[in-house]
C-alpha cells in the first residue's frame, strides 16, 4: 500500500513539476480555451460545458498520474532522438553551429517547411540524390533577399554563381528563414528521404 501511495505521489508531482509540466499546462489551457465563445461558432462549434472541461482535465491528470513512467520513457526517447546524430552527420555538416536556427546542413529529403511565427507553410526539397542515376542530386538554396527557395541540380556549393530571380544571393550556409515574415523560428518535417 505504501508503494502505491509513493508511486501516485511521484506521479502527481511529476505532472506539475517535471518534464510533463509543459504538456499538462498546454492541455489545461487548451481545455480552458474550448470553454470560451469564439468568433466563428460554425467552424469551431459551441463552447464546451464547464463539467466537460473539468472532466477532461480530471481524466488527463488521472491518466498522467497513473501512467507517468510511460511519459518519461517518451521524453527520454525524444531527447535521444534529438541528441544522437547519425554516423554520417559530420560528413554533411560543414561548420559547427552554436545557435538554434535551422540550416540546410541539418535537413534532408523532401518535406514540409513551416514558420511558427506567421504559420506560412510549403513543401520543400532540401537535398535528394539518386533520382535520375547514381551521381545526380538536387539541393535547395534560399535567397538572402526575398527568401525564395531554389533547387539546383548537381551543384552543392553553387559554384556556377547562380542568383535568385530577384537578383539576390543564394545560400545554403545561412540560417533558413520564413520567406513571408523573415522569422528564423521555422521547422522542417521530412516526408521522404533518399
Please check the confidence at residue 177 and state whether its pLDDT lies above 90. yes
Backbone angles phi, psi at 174, to 5 degrees: -90, 160
Question: Which run of H or of E encompasses 25?
Answer: helix 21-34
Percent of the chain whose pLDDT exceeds 70: 75
The predicted pLDDT at position 176 comes to 93
What is the rounded CA–CA span in Å between residue 185 and residue 23? 21
Grid coordinates standing for 43?
467552424
Cα 62 to its chain centre, rounded Å, is: 28
What is the rounded CA–CA span in Å between residue 183 and residue 194? 29
Specify which residues 142 forms β-bridges with: 149, 171
Q: Residue 93 contacts by C-beta under 8 Å, 6 or more apart in sequence?
A: 105, 106
The predicted pLDDT at position 93 comes to 41
pLDDT digits over 84-118, tens only?
644 444 334 444 566 788 888 888 888 889 998 99
pLDDT digits over 44-64, tens only?
556 667 777 788 778 887 887
Instruction: Check: pTM over 0.75? Answer yes or no.
Output: no
Q: Check residues 79 and 86 and name the one with the higher pLDDT.
A: 79
Q: Check residues 131 and 171 and name the one with the higher pLDDT.
A: 171
- Rounded CA Rg of the chain: 23
The predicted pLDDT at position 191 comes to 83
Residue corresponding to grid cell 539546383:
152
Antiparallel, parallel or unpaired: β 109-115 and 186-192: antiparallel
First to last CA, the chain: 54
Q: How confident is the model at residue 149 (pLDDT cuts 50, 70, 90)?
A: very high
Question: Which run of H or of E encompasses 85?
Answer: none
Q: Residue 190's closest CA among 106, 111, 108, 85?
A: 111
Q: Check residues 188 and 44 and name the one with the higher pLDDT.
A: 188
Q: Check residues 65 and 102 and name the one with the higher pLDDT.
A: 102
Q: Residue 188's closest CA among 125, 142, 137?
A: 125
The predicted pLDDT at position 55 comes to 81
Amino acid at each position: 500500500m505504501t508503494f502505491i501511495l509513493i508511486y501516485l505521489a511521484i506521479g502527481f508531482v511529476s505532472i506539475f513539476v517535471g518534464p510533463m509540466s509543459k504538456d499538462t499546462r498546454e492541455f489545461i489551457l487548451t481545455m480552458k480555451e474550448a470553454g470560451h465563445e469564439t468568433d466563428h461558432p460554425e467552424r469551431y462549434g459551441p463552447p464546451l460545458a464547464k463539467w466537460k472541461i473539468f472532466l477532461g482535465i480530471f481524466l488527463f491528470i488521472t491518466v498522467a498520474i497513473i501512467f507517468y513512467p510511460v511519459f518519461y520513457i517518451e521524453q527520454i526517447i525524444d531527447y535521444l532522438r534529438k541528441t544522437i546524430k547519425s554516423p554520417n552527420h559530420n560528413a554533411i555538416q560543414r561548420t559547427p553551429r552554436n545557435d538554434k536556427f535551422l540550416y540546410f546542413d541539418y535537413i534532408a529529403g523532401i518535406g514540409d517547411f513551416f514558420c511558427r511565427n506567421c504559420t506560412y507553410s510549403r513543401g520543400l526539397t532540401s537535398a535528394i540524390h539518386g533520382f535520375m542515376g547514381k551521381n545526380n542530386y538536387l539541393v535547395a538554396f534560399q535567397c538572402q533577399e526575398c527568401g525564395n527557395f531554389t533547387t539546383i541540380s548537381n551543384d552543392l556549393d553553387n559554384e556556377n554563381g547562380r542568383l535568385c530571380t530577384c537578383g539576390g544571393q543564394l545560400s545554403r550556409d545561412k540560417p533558413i528563414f520564413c520567406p513571408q515574415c523573415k522569422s528564423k523560428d521555422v521547422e522542417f518535417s521530412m516526408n521522404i528521404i533518399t
